[in-house]
Amino acid sequence: MNRIARLRVDVGRLRAVLRTLAGVTATQRGFALAPHHAEEERAGR
């Protein structure tokens, strides 16, 4: 497996773990994290 493919796999695994703690969204510059409780507070307003 080449380095790029391995990196993609590792990022996918990291995103899966982070999803339990925060929302993960892709942006033009990379990724953005938002804690789940912050998303709930925004929805409640």
- What's the pLDDT tens digit per position in 8-42? 999 889 888 888 888 878 899 998 888 887 555 55
Radius of gyration (C-alpha) of the chain in whole angstroms: 13
Q: What is the pLDDT of residue 34?
A: 85
CA 14 to chain centre: 8
Q: What is the pLDDT of residue 38?
A: 57
CB 24 within 8 A of CB 18: yes
The residue with greater pLDDT, 5 or 19, is: 5
Q: Which residues contact 34 (CB under 8 A, 6 or more apart)?
A: 22, 23, 25
Q: At residue 7, does pLDDT exceed 60?
A: yes
Q: What is the pLDDT of residue 45?
A: 54
Structural domain span for residue 15 = 3-44
CB 33 within 8 A of CB 24: yes
Q: Count structural domains, the chain.
A: 1
